[in-house]
Amino acid sequence: MQPNHFIFADLSTYDPNKSMEFYASIFNWKFKNEYDYQTAYLGNQPVIGLYETPEKFKQLKMPHFWMSYIQVNDVEKTVSLARTLGGIIELEQELDYFGKVALIRDPLGAGFTVYEGNYLMNTRTKAKENTLVWNELHVSDAKKVLPFYQGIFNWQLHKISNDTYHIFDDKERHIADILEVPNFYKGKYEYWVCTFGVRSLSKVKQQVLDQGGTIIHTEDHRVLVSDDSGEAFFYLKEV
């Protein structure tokens, strides 16, 4: 267990079967239904989760999206700190077999899930093909959320350029980034973005297109894409 680290991600989708077909083709994942929740495996190792968007959120036209999970020692304490620091608690729940979770939005609205328990494994790797390898926050005004994240996770935030902050844990390990991105480029929402490692960026980019996905933005070492829903976006990075 690594408290205050990113450990997992899952996808909320209107059409699980269609989404599973897309991601299986891209990442060679095999899905297994566990407690009405689809877990993707790479060989024998779990990688990510996938579930059908609840009907009430479909009615609200909530988009398909990837959610980042952060391990914590105490969900109740984290929720209390988040409220004090201007966060919004969308959900707080305890499941017998799973553990405790809470969906929190930071003061600008970017959502993430905190998790307390031993059921959910840490599936983020440093550089393994077809796994979650990185998480970063895209936000319009970083200064408005820095005290929030420092306060609830004890993160150290170092500004390295006009628009980029590195996030370090209490042992000075670089674990994530914050990117300040104008709404002109990212849209009106604030969000945490998942990055998945791939062996060949050019090959997987073509697979995304072949499976109905979209190339949103290409950078020197990675590419931002959306899946075939046109809404759930993520980075691909060559590892």
Question: Tell me: the pLDDT tens digits for 8-18?
Answer: 999 999 999 99
pLDDT for residue 233 is more than 90? yes
Average pLDDT of 55-69?
93
Residue 209 pLDDT grade (very low, low, confident, very high; cuts 50, 70, 90):
very high
- Helices 146-153 and 75-84 sit at what angle, rounded to 10 degrees? 150
pLDDT tens-digit profile of 197-206? 999 999 999 9
pLDDT, averaged across the chain: 95
Q: What is the reported pLDDT for 187?
A: 86
pLDDT for residue 34 is more than 90? no
pLDDT for residue 97 is more than 90? no
**Residue 53: partners with Cβ closer than 8 Å, 6 or more residues away:** 12, 13, 14, 62, 64
Q: Who has greater pLDDT, 56 or 152?
A: 152
Residue 239 pLDDT grade (very low, low, confident, very high; cuts 50, 70, 90):
very high
Residue 220 pLDDT grade (very low, low, confident, very high; cuts 50, 70, 90):
confident
Q: What is the reported pLDDT for 188?
A: 87
Q: What is the reported pLDDT for 94?
A: 94
Q: What is the reported pLDDT for 30?
A: 98
Q: What is the reported pLDDT for 90?
A: 93
pLDDT for residue 1 is more than 80? no
